Amino acid sequence: MTQSAPSEFIYAPPLEPYLQVLHADDDLLVVDKPSGLLSVPGKAAKHADCIELRAQQRYPQARIVHRLDMDTSGVMVLAMNPAALRHLGLQFERRKTRKSYIAEVWGQLGEETGEVDLPLICDWPNRPKQMVSHEMGRPALTRWQVLERKNDCTRVRLFPHTGRSHQLRVHMLALGHPILGDRFYAEGAALSACGRLALHAESLELHHPADGARWTFDAEVPF
């Protein structure tokens, strides 16, 4: 029998803070998305609340450029005009951005740094879960660095080279160290160790659409 957790989940996104703006100008809107809020509307009407909707209530011209998983918090950038949307979209597509995440994973990683180079594909019977597939998966690369070792877990900084769905979550699971509070991939003590997914988009570096200058945006880690 396949797991039914996703269908049992009740969508109750946080209302405070409603929209946390890190930066806004004529081309960019940068926000700190809370855990539990969708990036874009879901299919059901009750899943309409999302970072895109909240942003457009204040900035009607804002458009989503990329997404974070609902359970992940942190830096997201939206475009404020069509030219900026194209410019930013190409940066993500061509991997001209640099992203770093903070996570807490179950157990103790054996080394101080490392990388996971495992191709990923959707696990269709259990979607939206993803899985490793050497035969059918798309290339995915994550580098990691240990920041702090605790009794039962390790705090790490993650650097995704690619941007596959659930990439960081599945790659950490593949190492045998699921991210704390991950309702899709963690079990037992690893699942109950944190009341949310312990994954946060800490930093995003990109070229500003106006002049190509390199900008870095950061969001404080909430766990």
Q: Which of 69, 152, 211, 218 is catalytic?
A: 69
- Phi, psi at 30, each rounded to 5°: -115, 125
- 211 annotated active-site: no
Q: Please list the active-site residues.
A: 69
